Structure 1
Amino acid sequence: MTEFSRTVTSSVASQSSSWFEFLLNPTLLDEYLTQDNLEVAGTDLIIQFLIHANLIEQKTKKPTDNPNEIELKDNKIKALRFLAMKIAAKLNWDLVIIEKRIPVAVQSDLIHCFVRLTTNSVIDKCYKDREQFQQLSKVDEPALFAVQLLHRWIVRTVVQSSFPVKQAKIFPVNLKYTILYRAGYVNPLQHMKEPNENVIQMAKAKVRDSIQALDTLLEWKKEIICIPLETCFGFIDYENGNVNYDWSKMVNYPLVECLARVAYDLGSIYFYEQNYVNAYTMFRRVHDVRSQINLNYFSSLDGYLTSLQSINPSMEQRMLKPKDRIAMALRASSEDCISVLAEDNDTKEMSMAARMRLEDRLDVGSQQYKIVCSFNLVRALLDGKHLSNIQYAFDYLDTALQRVKKVNPKQQALLHNFLRIHFQNLTKNLQDQLRTDKLSHLVGQTFIMPPLKPILSPTYRSSTVTSTIQRRVNASELFKIQNRLIHSFEPDVIIKTINDIDKMKQLKMLDDLFPPNQSNNVIEKQLSPILNTNLLIGQYIRILYVKAQRAKQFKHYSLARKLLLHAAELLSPLPQQQDTTKLIKYIRYELLLIDLNDSIHKQNFDNQDTWDACRTFLTDTQSENDASVDVIRVALSYALSRGEWHFLHAIQSSSRRNRQYLDLTKILARLCITDSIRPEITRELWDRVLDILSDKKVHRGNRHHQHPQQQQDKLTAINFQKFLLLIYNPTIISILFSLLTRMYSIVLVEQSHIDIYSDYARYWPTTIVDQRQRSVHIRILANIIYLCIKHIQTIKFQQTQIQIKSSLLRTQGDLYLTLQQYTLSTKSYLCSITLDTMNNSQHVQDHDMLIRNLIKSTLQLGYHTQVACLCQLLNQPDYNIIFKTLQENFNLNDDIDDYYDCVWDLALMEILINNLHVRGYEDKKKLAIRVCKQKELNGNNSDENRLKMIRIKKRLLLKKLLAHYLLPFNRLYRPKLYWKYNLLKNMSLD
């Protein structure tokens, strides 16, 4: 009963003073802050002080006749905010208490006033970089503490705003506040809903910067941060406006506690954003130091951790990055460390450099250091790499080997050799396992035991140790030489490295590093006699050739040419026998192949030297049967890409190897020699490609029976695909793509009502006559068309060939439309129209069909406003489609406001205005009417002005559509007129 009486007495005493009495009596606040109910009474006073300060500030902004009155009010504002901050300092700036009892808008005012005070800044700045924090830490004032408090408050405000909160009822008259609210005052808390929402929106806009700032603070290396308490805030001089601050009385704020609060708040925002990995990392960091801090601030920590574990029970192992998992395991038990390192040895998610950095962070000789060294050694052996620091790697080597699941023969040999060399350094348990063949799955069926070392005299023992060390040094040198040979592509370095291997009498090792392939390689077959007579020179040439092939595979053609030229130089001093002459000829073929591939890759067909070499090759190999098919294919495609029609038409070949590609090339050359295309040639090309993509059914006794030699001369579909992808002549590609699409439309989409357009469509048959006797490979045909579409995108079209590219894009659009891929078809159609518009060329005769197909695909995507605008591009606008589309689809998927300035048809504008009126969108209707009243849309304009206006709006429409479909995130093209209309719209609404 006595305690209750004391509480009631103190509450009545707090109500006996008004807020302005604290300004008149400086000691009154200190007496008030000593009461037991500090949390309730203190937060109530903060609310009153800051609200009245804001009310006085609003009145101060109004001009008055007495300037002294304004100055007095300014002093009153400064004093009230000073008192509010002094009470918050008494509460130790505890955000839990502040957020519990103070509205969000008042919290924002309190913390921002504190930041402006400590940073000596009138405006709010964004402190989020390390350099800015360093500058704040050099000042004696508690600026760093204030800034971190601000960022933590922003993060917590965003998180707490997502929780549903029941609104408390606030009455106009309250017995507790009858003294604080005098007659004529209205409780300001009744009108805090809108300011609170504005502050929350501000916090959401700045939350990314606050997260960045708190992440930077987590790496803070300073031991302590200073926190200002109530002793730092002295008395106020209300009349003069002087406020006394003494920052020397600040107390130390332990860094562990500060970083724990920061990590906890970061974990809550990550949990709110569903970034559970980062949230778990932050909460685990707080959990590790929670025993050092006795605070109620982390009351929800266990609940967060439990929720994260229920979301993903293996959060700690699977969702974290490998380096984070290993770092957590190192802080945990040795068993966790072993399991995590063994898993990484299997998955190899961490690089070897990152694994080596783990050793540098640990104490040398510790248990964890030995575990990491052992597993790093096993990882290096499995990767075929050399480790120099293996002193501490033997204690847990048996454990690391037992965790290895599977090895290949090469890894098995590496493990066997290492364990045999270092057998005496192994633990007794591991030696016993090797003797009993328990590790046969890792080192082979039989482990060759090293000879036992007898007890020797000291002199002999020292010499034996010296020879053993020398052998280890030689093994290490050989390992380095192997790595140098594998990774080097410089001819001089390669020759020197092979010489070093020859000095060590290890030339046989080259066959293991670079296995010979004589099955399908002509050059390596011709190298066999040279390897038998001069092994070293033969290995030079073979290794250089293998390196050149690898460089060519990665399209490093200049490097491949350099390697082959060096190989040819090594062959020139040798006796010119038949095998040597053939080998030199084949190397020249390879050099030509590299030059041609380089020119085709760069699409540079103007080099006369390359063409002369190609022409000589095609002329000289007419009767040779040993020419490489790859060189023939690339040479013919290079000639086609250059447009050498007369040369290709005149060339003759008696070689069966050349006939596969030459027959098809001659047909294409005959098509392009004359300006007019002859139907018999197109029919021959059609039959040739149809034979490639189909198989005739062979009937016994039938005249259609094919000879085996004819079947062998036939070009296969795979070789035709390779040949097609090497051609970069737009005319040839357009002809072949038109043929393939017509064949596709006949074989696959006979039931389709969409006619696939192409420039050469009229030259191809409409049906396959003997379709019953043929079996077209549908999958191969579809794959070739797909690859051809990708190939067309890589061709560099000249300015005079833009019309060809436009036609190809239109054909692609028709193909995508038949496959119901409406987004891709819309993109292709728009690009085709745009190329025609930019090139100022005449539209094709069936331009309306292109627009109607574009309208179909756009309608399927649900963009009805775009459909209505596209109908204007027709020669005769289709008002039936416009009216039906806009009338039946009230919920448009595209924003209608963005297309007002793309409309030049007044009938369409009237339909839009009527629909907006029916839907009740008065603001949008007013904006549309304002656009309709523009001078450009006046019906009395001259034809010249009207056509100019249509041309401008048409280009604007295409720009917006291209931006919608091609730019990321569907960003709309908004010209300057849009912002002008938007400004007028806002002005009219105001």
Structure 2
Amino acid sequence: MDTGPKPVAEQSGTILWFEYLLDSSLLEKQLSRENSDSQATELIVEFLVNSHSLNVSEKNNSKVIDVEGTEAPNGSEPKTRKSLALKILALKCAAHLKWNFQLLENRVPLTLQQLLYQDLLFFSENGKVDIKSHISLDFREASPHTIFAVSTYHRWVLWALKSIQIITKPNKVLHIPMPGGQGPTFVPPHITEAMLNSLKLQAIDSVLILENILKELNGKKMIMPTISTFVSLTENSTSVSEHRWQEGYSISIEEFELQLRYDLAVWFMFANQYSVAKRHLQVVGRLFADCQSRKMEYCTISAPYLKGFLSACQIQGVNDEKSLTEKMHESIKNHYVGFLSVLQEDNIRREVPIHYREMAELDLLSAAASGKFTIAKDLVFKVQTLNVVRRALADYHIPGTYFKLLADEEGSGFQFLISELERVHQLGNKHDENKIKGLLSKILMTGGDKIKNSLFSNSLLKEIMQGELAKIEPALEHLPFNPDFPHSLLPQIECGELIQQLIESYRTSEIQTLLDRLSHGWPNRPLWTLYKKWEIPIPFQSAVMNLPKGMLQDWSYILLAKYRELLSLQDFAGAVEMLKAVEERGRTKQLANSQAGSKLFKLIEWEILLVDVLQFLHKWPVSSNSSRFAELTTQCRGCLGALQRGETIFPRSEVVDYCVALLLAACEWEFLLGLDVRWNLNLNVELASSLAAVCYDLQRDRERPTRKNAKSLWDLIIPAFNPTSANSGTMASQGGGSALKRTAAGALQQGGSSARDSPNANVPLVNRAALSKFCQLLYEPQSLNITLSLFVRLHNVVQDEANLEINADLSSLWPAVLSNANSYHLPGIGELLSQLLERALSLYPLNTDWLKLQGDLHFAQGFHSAAMSCFMTAASLASDYFHQVVPKQVLDEATVRRMIKCSHSASCFTQSALLCQLLEEIDYATAFRCLQERGCNDAMDSLYPFIWDVTLLEFIIQLHHKRGETQRKTAALKAIGMLELNANNNEEILREAAAQRKAQFLRCLAKQYL
């Protein structure tokens, strides 16, 4: 039994490239198959790529063919036998494609296309490729195949320059040798750009050469090479010039001239030389009409494209009539003159796409609204009517707004619609009758008696509708309303309407009337239970429920619920009105002497204070200079005093929170510091007291504040970010329970004792949700600044990365070390810091320090674009949009380096290099490295006028010269040639030039990021 290795069978139908060299007939068999164009382009790439590789690897071992029998000149690369054979095979494939540039455009790399047409020149000129000599070539004496090769190459030059700037599809890569590697067809961008620059320099000569060919044809017939024209090399070949040039396809002089003139005309159109293009297109239009009846193998002109060029150049005498789309565009260009006739004709012929017509309708509406030009009063409606007819004929949906417009136009509008439907019915086809019938049915169902009578008066449309009118008539009659509801349900319906009015009403007099009427419908049910969304705070519930049942209880409960609704809508005046109405009704009923009444009145007094405080803080910081500030401060101190005294009736926690917020805004540090928090379970009071202690220390001695109070606030806050409490955001921030204890210092804690900074300690009462709520109570700048500095220091300590450290004022107040810092929840710290920054900037949007702080936070979190936006906002605010010098403390060294990093991460490498100029000492190493990067996402050479450092400009010029980037080099030379950058200028001129360019560059960045 044979157990040896067996050969692997090749895939059926797969032919390797070298097999075409062994069998010359194999290529023709492959190209004779159906749909062989794509295979031909793939073979061209494969043959040319392998030809180049063989030329390099075998040039010293293979026999070199010298067509003139002399040695190859020094410096030229000799062509091996296999290389020439593969080039001939590539030319055979191009001949099979009939030398059509468009078929090779997206499938063959540009460099290989150039190599292909240069090979055609090589074989047609007996082994010489001297493109510069074509300008002096006498085409009257040249052979037809030489003229064809020369014209093909220079036609391709113009085609390549045009298409490379229009076509955006990537070139096809056929083979990738390894994952992530570059295929054999990969061409580095700088090589492609250098080749294009050389083609641009050659374009003028190519135009002259093609025009010389047209002048010197003298009736000579051209021959287009076919597959049989090229003779494949064999073992015995000794010359390359054995091709059968006379066996090609014979091209008439008219067809050849037509193609050349068309290519020249397209090039001139692309180069914006319209007068020269028009001269060529006039001849092309005449020649195309003559040659169109013949079978053209060489000419690849598209009739619609040619028609478009002729129309663009306004060439008269075009045989084809203009399409309706062209007529429509011309009418729009002429301010809609004859626009209706175009639409009427299109309703019969139906050539213009419906979306074109709809866009034209929208443009007309816009022009009429803006008053750009004067139009007829009814033009817009008539255009809409014609478009509705067209949509109906195409079975498209008819917008309901049109029927309202039709009713507004009354008789004249419907008469116009009827006339258009008559026209379509008479000139259209039979299938349109049902569509017209459907449109009329919709109109009759939505229209009135006038439209119905107009339809009846038209015999043709009445005939179309026939049986439909019998169905529609009963629906159009105004039938009398006959309610079928049982009489027993009518009182319930009436009560339901009264309840709905009660829910929607906020007028006390109307509410009283509705309650009186509803009390008869539900005599034994409390009216405040009619709507389940009426809710009031628990202290109010206990007070109201102790009132006598009946109208007074319902009145008090419902008005207090509506007070909460109005407060949530920030209707402060309406909210106070509801509270005072409850108080007034209670005093009328002489409830002041009762326990329930006195509690209710005291709670209402504090609620009115809450409304006043909320209204005052809502207008902060404008209200900070108000005369009511001192009065509200006194009232808030009295409210907190009642809480401290432990009175039986104490304010709600929400009232306490906003009293604390106002006292913090009023800088009442000493009062807040003096609050006894040992037995107070309101967390915001304790946080405010600790924060007030730090503020008071800074007020006394800002340079050397005591750290004891800062340490207490730090210890109170940081446990909220340990792993246990990171998941306890829903934990109550107020209230008490058996598990709540206090330390000897009075700090709140949940049972047991825990070491400071330990993330494994028992869960404290302070959590992220409670801290977030407390941050919303901060309004005054100093308290905001201190809290921000605490979170910044905590963020820096937990993150522990010097490159991402956030800079903030007063950070030195807080400890710089945290035990087991890696266990704290960094995202939670960043989220709370971000929320507090957004709040602070919403109150003080011009604070540049906080804007920089927000930028540093975004940078630390990896949001580089947002960081750049913050940095640029701070710089623009500090310099009046860069009309003044940006202060050093705004764009300091660290900030500029972070801006460089942000631009680099966005692949805006030129911006990064220019930002290096803002440093005290220009970082040339970073700038040069950025300038050498490829694939920039910024404007690159358009930023060169903003460079004031000559060294950078010199490096850019040398870099572009090395890469062969002529245009960018020219832009850099223009920038360095400005007189104000001359090194011989005095220091004042150089500083002024630098300041001007710096401001312009920063404005450019501001437009991008702001």
TM-score normalised by L of structure 2: 0.51
- Cα offset, 1:771, TM superposition: 5.7
Q: Which residue number corresponds to residue 568 of structure 1?
A: 583
Match for residue 764 of structure 1? Answer: 814
Distance 2:536 2:502 in 1: 24
> Which of 790, 800, 812 is residue 838 of structure 2 equivalent to?
790
The equivalent of 1:126 in structure 2 is 332
Q: Tell me what 1:923 maps to.
A: 967
Structure of higher CA gyration radius:
2
Counterpart of 2:538 in structure 1 is: 521
Match of 1:175 in 2: none
The equivalent of 2:290 in structure 1 is none
Q: Which residue of 2 aligns with 1:438?
A: none
Which residue number in structure 1 is paired with residue 625 of structure 2?
Answer: 606
Q: How does 1:694-709 map to 2 (within 5 A)?
A: 694=722, 708=751
- CA offsets, 1:505-561, max 9 Å, x none? 45736333334888961011101121xx25212211211110111122233333222
Tell me, yes or no, if structure 1 residue 956 matches structure 2 residue 1006: no
Could you report, residue by residue, the CA deviation over 1:410-455 in whole angstroms, capped at 9, with x for unpaired residues?
Answer: xxxxxxxxxxxx6xx7xxxxxxxxxxxxxxxxxxxxxxxxxxxxxx
After superposition, the Cα gap between the structure-2 partners of 1:499 and 1:902, relative to the gap in structure 1 and judged at 3 Å, is: farther
CA separation of 1:518 and 1:544: change in aligned 2, threshold 3 A: closer
C-alpha distance in structure 1 between counterparts of 2:474 and 2:941, whole Å: 65
Alignment check: 8 A CA contact 1:155 1:210 kept = no
Deviation, 1:791, is: 1.6
The C-alpha deviation readout for 1:802-841, integer Å capped at 9, x for no partner, is 5xx3222222222222322221122222223334434867
Residue type of the partner of 2:899?
Answer: L
- Cα gap change, 1:517/1:544 in structure 2, threshold over 3 Å: closer, same or farther? closer
CA distance in 1, matches of 2:428, 2:475: 36
Question: Is residue 723 of structure 1 aligned with residue 774 of structure 2?
Answer: yes
CA contact (8 A) 1:523 1:586 kept: yes
Report 1:332-343 matches (<5 A).
none
1:144 to 332, 340, 346: 340
1:687 maps to 715
Residues 906-945 of structure 1 mapped to structure 2, 5 A cutoff? 906-945=950-989
Q: Which residue of 2 aligns with 1:823?
A: 865
Mapping of 1:773-852 within 5 angstroms? 776=824, 780-797=828-845, 802=846, 805-838=847-880, 842-844=887-889, 847-852=892-897
Residue 795 of structure 2 is matched in structure 1 by: 744
Which amino acid is the alignment partner of residue 655 of structure 2?
Answer: V
Distance of 1:917 and 1:151 partners within structure 2 = 61
Which residue in 1 is equivalent to 2:693? Answer: 667
Q: 1:858 maps to which residue?
A: 903
| CA pair 208-951 structure 1, distance change in 2 beyond 3 A | farther
**Structure 1: where are the runs of 5+ without partners?**
1-50, 52-60, 63-76, 78-97, 137-141, 160-202, 226-253, 267-287, 300-326, 332-361, 374-387, 393-421, 426-467, 967-990
Q: Distance in 2 between matches of 1:484 and 1:495?
A: 12
Amino acid at match of 1:721: S
1:491 Cα offset (Å): 2.5
In structure 2, distance between residues paired with 1:363 and 1:750 = 83
Written as runs of structure 1 = structure 2, the 5 A alignment for 1:48-197 is: 103-106=307-310, 126=332, 144-146=340-342
2-side partners of 1:706 and 1:929: how far apart? Answer: 71
The aligned residue for residue 585 of structure 1 is: 602
CA contact (8 A) 1:871 1:882 kept: yes
Answer with 662-671 or 896-905: which moved more: 662-671
User: How far apart in 2 are the matches of 1:494 and 1:583?
Assistant: 20
Q: 1:224 to 1:895 in 2, by over 3 A?
A: closer
Residues 967-986 of structure 1: CA deviation (Å, up to 9, x unaligned): xxxxxxxxxxxxxxxxxxxx
Per-residue deviation, residues 883-921 of structure 1 (Å, max 9, x unmatched): 11111x133211124323322212222223333333444
Asked whether the 8 Å contact 1:151–1:210 carries over to 2, the reply is no
Q: Deviations over 1:696-737 (max 9, x none)?
A: 999x9x999967499999544422211112212222222212
The letter of the residue matching 1:605 is S
Q: Give, in whole Å, the separation in 1 of the partners of 2:950 and 2:988.
A: 17
Supply the distance in 1 between the matched residues of 2:393 and 2:724 (Cα, whole angstroms).
78
Task: Determine if contact 2:792/2:833 at 8 Å carries over to the other structure.
Answer: yes
Distance in 1 (CA, whole Å) between partners of 2:568 and 2:349 is 57
**1:954 partner amino acid:** K
Map of 2:109 onto structure 1: none
Match of 1:735 among 772, 781, 786: 786
Which residue does 2:137 correspond to in 1? none
Contact 2:907 2:935 (C-alpha < 8 Å) held by counterparts: no
Structure 1 residue identity aligned to 2:615: D
Deviation at 1:592, TM superposition (A): 1.4
Alpha-carbon offset, residue 621 of structure 1 = 3.2
The structural deviation recorded for 1:600 is 2.0
Q: 1:581-639: CA deviations, max 9, x gaps?
A: 11111112111112222222221233323333223323343213622221111111222
8 Å CA contact 1:897–1:924 kept in 2: the answer is yes
CA distance in structure 2 between the aligned counterparts of 1:680 and 1:735, rounded to whole angstroms: 15
Q: Does 1:630 align with 2:654?
A: yes
Q: Name the residue aligned to 2:552.
A: 537
Identical positions, percent: 18
Native 8 Å contact 2:947 2:997 kept in 1: yes
Could you tell me how far apart the structure 1 residues matched to 2:763 and 2:536 are? Answer: 20
Normalized per residue, which structure has more helix? 1
8 Å CA contact 1:115–1:143 kept in 2: the answer is no
Partner Cα separation in structure 2 for residue 112 and residue 126 of structure 1: 23
What is the one-letter code of the residue matched to 2:672?
A: L
Residue deviations 1:223-259 (CA, integer Å, cap 9, x gap): 999xxxxxxxxxxxxxxxxxxxxxxxxxxxx995697
Q: For 1:594, which of 611, 615, 623 is the aligned residue?
A: 611
Distance 1:661 1:878, change over 3 A: closer
Task: Verify the 8 A CA contact 1:646 1:669 in the aligned structure 2.
Answer: no
Q: Measure the CA separation in 2 of the matches of 1:908 and 1:152.
A: 67
The number of aligned residues is 604
Q: Is the 2:505–2:511 Cα contact (8 Å) retained in structure 1?
A: yes
1:868 is displaced (CA, Å) by 0.9
Does the aligned pair in 2 maintain the 1:600–1:638 contact within 8 Å?
Answer: yes
| CA 1:297–1:781: 2 relative to 1, 3 Å | farther
Task: Between 544-553 and 952-961, report the one with greater CA deviation.
Answer: 952-961
Cα shift at 1:961: 0.8
SS in structure 1 of the partner of residue 625 of structure 2: coil
Q: CA deviation at 1:125?
A: 6.5
Unaligned runs of 5+ residues in structure 2 are: 1-264, 266-274, 277-281, 283-301, 369-377, 400-420, 433-437, 443-467, 726-738, 754-761
Which of structures 1 and 2 has the larger relative contact order (alpha carbons within 8 angstroms, sep 6+)? 2
Cα distance in structure 2, aligned partners of 1:893 and 1:255: 47
Change (3 A) 1:873 1:721: same
Could you tell me which residue of structure 2 aligns to residue 617 of structure 1?
639
The residue type paired with residue 850 of structure 2 is L
Counterpart of 1:724, as a letter, is C
Structure 2 counterpart SS, 1:126: helix
The TM-score with structure 1 as length reference comes to 0.52
Partner Cα separation in structure 1 for residue 967 and residue 867 of structure 2: 35
Deviation at 1:221, TM superposition (A): 5.6
Does structure 1 retain, via aligned residues, the 8 Å contact 2:720–2:764?
no
In structure 2, the CA distance between the partners of 1:679 and 1:841, relative to structure 1 (3 Å rule), is farther
| Corresponding residue to 1:884 among 929, 934, 937 | 929
Aligned equivalents of 1:835 and 1:222: distance in 2? 51
Inter-partner Cα distance in structure 2 for 1:112 and 1:146: 22
Which deviations, in whole Å up to 9, do the C-alpha atoms of 1:36-59 show, x marking residues without a partner? xxxxxxxxxxxxxxx9xxxxxxxx
1:37 paired residue number: none
After TM superposition, give the deviation of residue 745 of structure 1 in Å.
Answer: 2.7
